[in-house]
Structure 1
Amino acid sequence: MADKMLLSFYGDDFTGSTDVMEALTLSGIPAALFLTPPTHDELKIFRLKNTKTDIAAFGVAGVSRSMSVSEMESELPAIFEKLATIPTKYFHYKVCSTFDSSPRQGSIGRAIDIALEYFPSKWVPLLVAAPALNRFCVFGNLFARVDGQTYRLDRHPTMSVHPATPMDESDLRLHLGKQTNRPIKLVDVQTLESSKVAEIFTRQLISENNVPVVLFDALHNEHLSVCGQAIDALNSGERQLIVGSSGVEYALGDLLKSDAVSGYSIPDNIDTTEQVIVIAGSCSPGTKRQIEYAIEEGFEAIKVNTAELADALSTEKEVERVATKALYALQNNRDIILYTALGPHDDDISKTKEILDNKGISANAIGKQLGSVLKKLLNEYHSSRVVVAGGDTSGYVSRALGIYAFELLAPIAPGAPLCTAHSTINAFDGLQVALKGGQNGDDQYFIKVKNAGTSQKQVI
C-alpha cells in the first residue's frame, strides 16, 4: 500500500459501488470494494486474490440513497471520519447515474454539505454523465437511454415514476438546488470542446468563497477526458471532494495511473463454472426479462413467498421449502433462480407490502432471509458462482456469507461485473459473485455470467 492512495470512494448504494471498482480496475488501477470502512492497518495487509497485488484505490458500499436526511446526518459523519484518516488524492461520493435523490431521501445536496466537513475543498466537481452506461448530460439536463431510446430523465419510463425518488426535473442544477443552498455552476458541452477553455472557465467559476458545486456536461468519452483534465489541473495537492457517477473514474482513470500500478490488468482467463445460482430481489422490468430469458434457456425458477419469508412465524418453514426445492434442482444439474417478483406489476408486491405493513415488519427482513437461503444452499451444495440482482439484496446476501470485500474478476455488463469475494468464512472466501442493479445488463445477463470464462471477449 502506498503512503497516499489515489482515490477513495463511498457508494450511495451497493451495486452502484461495484460500478466504480470496475471502472477503476479497467483503467489499470487495482481497486477493492469493502462493506465497511477499512482501517489503515487493514489496507496495508490487503492483497488482491487474482493478481496478488496491493491496491491503489478503494471504496465502501453504502446505502445512503435509501436514507432520510436525519439518517444521513446520523450515519455518514462516522463513515466519512474513518475514510478521511486514509490519505488519498481524491474522495468520491458516488451517486447513481440517474441521480436518484430528493430533499427527503438520499439527498445528494445534504451529503455534499456533510462530506465537506471531512474532505474540505474549494469547490465540488459534479460529474453525473456516464456514456458507457448510456447516461448523458447536456446543458445541465440528464438523459438516459433504455431499449434503444434516449429519454430526458423527467420523461424516463422508470425514473419519472420511481416510487421513492421520482425524477420530475431533468435540469440537475434545479434538482440539486432543492437539496443544498450552495451555488451550482455549469461547464456545458460547448465549453468542453476545448480542454484549455474548459480549464480556464472552470477556474473562473470556483473563485467564489462559498464553495460552489460545478456540474460538468458530457455527451461522449472525449468530453469525459476534458472534464478529467480540468478537474486534475485544478487539484491543489490537497484531497479533492468529487461527487458523481462512475463517470468520475472514466474521466480520471488515465490521469490517476502512476508508475506503481503501470501494466496492471485483470487475468485474461478465468475458471468456468458448471452451474450458477441466481438470487433476484429486484422487481425491475430489466430483471423480469432476464429471468424470463434464463427460464427459456433451461434455468429452474423458484418463486419465494416474500410475506412468509419475512414473518418470523413462518420464516423457517419458507426457507426450508425454497432451499429443499433449489437443492433438488441443483443436484439434477439445473441452474436455478430464486426470485421475489416477476417485474414491477407482480401482484405479490402489493400483497406482501400490505402484510408487512399490517404486521409492522420491515421489508429489509426479506433481503436478510434471502441471504440465509443462499448460505444454506452453499453449505449443502458447492457452487463457485452466484448472481445477486438488486442493490439492497446484494448487501444482505454479502453479509450473510461473511463477505467483507470484493475485487473485479471479469466485466460482464457495464456496472454489473463478476467479482471475487473476500470472506471471513473459509467456505465462501474466493466465491465468484456477480452483483447487479435492477436496470443493469441485457436480457442474456444471467447466461453471460454462467458462461464467463470460456472467452471474456464473448461476454463483454
Structure 2
Amino acid sequence: MADDLTGATDVAAAFGSAGLRVGLFFGGIDDDASSADLDVVVVGLKTRTVPAADAVSAALAATRALIARGCAQVFFKYCSTFDSTPAGNIGPVADALATELGAGPVVFAPTTPVQGRTVYQGHLFVGDVLLSESTLRDHPLTPMTDARLPRVLAAQTVHGVGLVDLAVVRTGSAAIEERIAAQAACGREFVIVDAVDDDDLDAIAHAVRNRPLVTGAAGLAAALARAHAAASARGRAAVADDTADRLTAAGTAAAIAGSCSARTREQIARWQESGPALRLDPVRLPDSEALAQDALAWYDGARAEGPALIYSSAGPGELREAQEALGAERAAQLVEHALGLVAAGLARRGVDRLIVAGGETSGEVIRALGIGHGRVGAEAAPGVPWIFADQPAPMALLLKSGNYGDSDLLVRAAEAHRVH
C-alpha cells in the first residue's frame, strides 16, 4: 500500500516490471472486485499529509483487507524522498502495521536509483545533493530539512531506530540479516538500510523477502518483485500491446497539474510551447467552484486547438503569495478541490485519457471521478504507468508524482500513438 496515489502507480509499475500481474485500488479495497488473477494488489491511499490517526486508521483497514485476500507480505510504500514531518506519517503507520502483523524488525529503504534517490551512511541524497539541500527543503506540506533518516524516523516512532550501512549491505543478504537482528537485539527494531544501486536493493530484498512487513520506495519494490518472481518478457510485451490498444481507443486527452515541483513546472512550460494551457489563480478567485467553472468554460473554447492543460502549479514566489493571502491549508484545499471539479467536468465532456501531475491532485481527481480500481499497464516513464479503469466509465489515467518524468512527459502522454 502507498501513502498517495502517484506513489501507488509508482510501486505498481515496479512490481509490474518483473512481469507480475498488478491491480490497483484507489482509497481502499473494493469488496466486489476480484483479485484472483493478480499476483500483486496495490492500494493507493491518500494519507501522506492527513492527521496521523487518520493515516493509521486507513492503513490498518487496507492491511486487514489485504490479509483477508491471502496477502503473504505487506509492503508499505512512501516517497523516495521520505516525505514526512515529526508528527508522521511514516513512523505512526509503520508502528501500527508492525503491531497488527506481529512483525519483527522492520526495514526502511527509500533508495530508488532510477530517480536518483540513494541512501549512504543513513543520509538521503537526491542526485548528488543531500535531501536537505534539494528543492524538497521548500515543499509546502512536508519540507525535508534533515537528510539523516535515522534522526527523521526517530522523531516519528515509538521504536528505536538503527542503521545497516553500505559496507554491510555490500557483503550480501546474510550479513544484512545478521545486522538487522543485531540492531533489534539492541532495541532498534526499525532499521534504515543504505543502498545506492539496484544490486544493493537486490541484496536487501533477498534478506527481507519472507518478512510480513517491509517498507520502502519503488526501488525496493522492484527488487522484491525480482526476488519473488522471474521476469516474464512475454508478459511485459503483452502489457505493452494492451496499453497501445487502450490508448488508441482513448482518443480525447487532457492534462491537469497541481504539483509545484520544479520538474512539473518544466513539463508545463514544455506543454505551453505547443498546446493551450490555463493556470488557476486562487488569489484572484478564491472559490473552488468558480475556478472550475471558469476553467471549463475556457476549455470549451480551447479544445479545438488540441489537448489542453489546466494547472494550479506555481513557483515559490507565487506559492508564497497564495499562502499569505489565503493561508497555506486553505490555498491547497481550494485548488485541489477545483482541480477535482475540473476533472469531473472534463470527463463529462468526453475526455477519456487524463494525465494528472501531483500526488494530492491525483487523489482528488480519482475521488471526483468515482474510480475505485484499475489495471496497471505499461510505463510512460519510469515509475509512471498507465492505469485503465472501466468503471464508472472507461478511462486511461496517467498519475504522475510531481518530480517524475522528463520534460516532454505530459506532451508525449497526450499523443495517442506515442506509447513507451
Q: TM-score, with normalisation over the residues of structure 1?
A: 0.82
Change (3 A) 1:89 1:99: same
CA–CA distance in structure 2, aligned partners of residues 390 and 200 of structure 1: 36
Q: Which residue matches 1:23?
A: 14
Which of 92, 98, 106 is 1:124 aligned to? 106
Matched, 1:413 2:381: yes
Over the residues paired in the alignment, what is the CA RMSD in angstroms?
2.7
Matched, 1:174 2:174: no
Change (3 A) 1:77 1:88: closer
CA–CA distance in structure 1, aligned partners of residues 284 and 374 of structure 2: 31
Which of 82, 85, 98 is 2:65 aligned to? 82
Matched, 1:58 2:46: no
Provide the aligned length of Structure 1 versus Structure 2. Answer: 414
- Specify the code of the residue in structure 2 equivalent to 1:353: Q
Displacement of 1:240 in angstroms is 0.9
Given that 1:65 and 1:107 are in contact with CA atoms closer than 8 Å, whether structure 2 keeps it comes out as yes
Displacement of 1:166 in angstroms is 2.6
Which of 139, 142, 164 is 1:165 aligned to? 142
CA–CA distance in structure 1, aligned partners of residues 121 and 331 of structure 2: 41
Matched, 1:335 2:307: yes
Which of 391, 401, 410 is 1:446 aligned to? 410
Q: TM-score, with normalisation over the residues of structure 2?
A: 0.89
Any gaps of 5 or more consecutive residues in structure 1? 1-9, 48-53
**Identity across the alignment (%):** 28
- Specify the code of the residue in structure 2 equivalent to 1:112: A
| Structure (1 or 2) with the larger CA radius of gyration | 1
Q: Which residue matches 2:258?
A: 281
Displacement of 1:367 in angstroms is 1.9
Matches within 5 A, 1:316-355: 317-330=290-303, 332-346=304-318, 349-355=319-325
Matched, 1:300 2:276: yes
Matched, 1:435 2:399: yes
Which of 170, 173, 176 is 1:193 aligned to? 170
Any gaps of 5 or more consecutive residues in structure 2? none
Q: 3-state DSSP class of the match of 1:267?
A: helix
Given that 1:415 and 1:440 are in contact with CA atoms closer than 8 Å, whether structure 2 keeps it comes out as yes
Which is worse superposed, 271-280 or 320-329?
A: 271-280
Change (3 A) 1:302 1:207: closer
Displacement of 1:355 in angstroms is 4.9
Matched, 1:42 2:15: no
Displacement of 1:197 in angstroms is 4.5
CA–CA distance in structure 1, aligned partners of residues 65 and 183 of structure 2: 28
Which is worse superposed, 220-229 or 77-86?
A: 77-86
Q: Which residue matches 2:132?
A: 154
Change (3 A) 1:77 1:203: closer
Q: Which residue matches 1:133?
A: 115
Which of 350, 356, 364 is 2:333 aligned to? 364
CA–CA distance in structure 2, aligned partners of residues 102 and 201 of structure 1: 31
Displacement of 1:366 in angstroms is 2.7
Given that 1:159 and 1:167 are in contact with CA atoms closer than 8 Å, whether structure 2 keeps it comes out as yes
- Specify the code of the residue in structure 2 equivalent to 1:16: G
Which of 195, 220, 238 is 1:218 aligned to? 195
Given that 1:412 and 1:418 are in contact with CA atoms closer than 8 Å, whether structure 2 keeps it comes out as yes
Displacement of 1:340 in angstroms is 1.4
CA–CA distance in structure 2, aligned partners of residues 178 and 308 of structure 1: 39
- Specify the code of the residue in structure 2 equivalent to 1:440: Y
Displacement of 1:204 in angstroms is 3.9
Q: Which residue matches 1:144?
A: 126
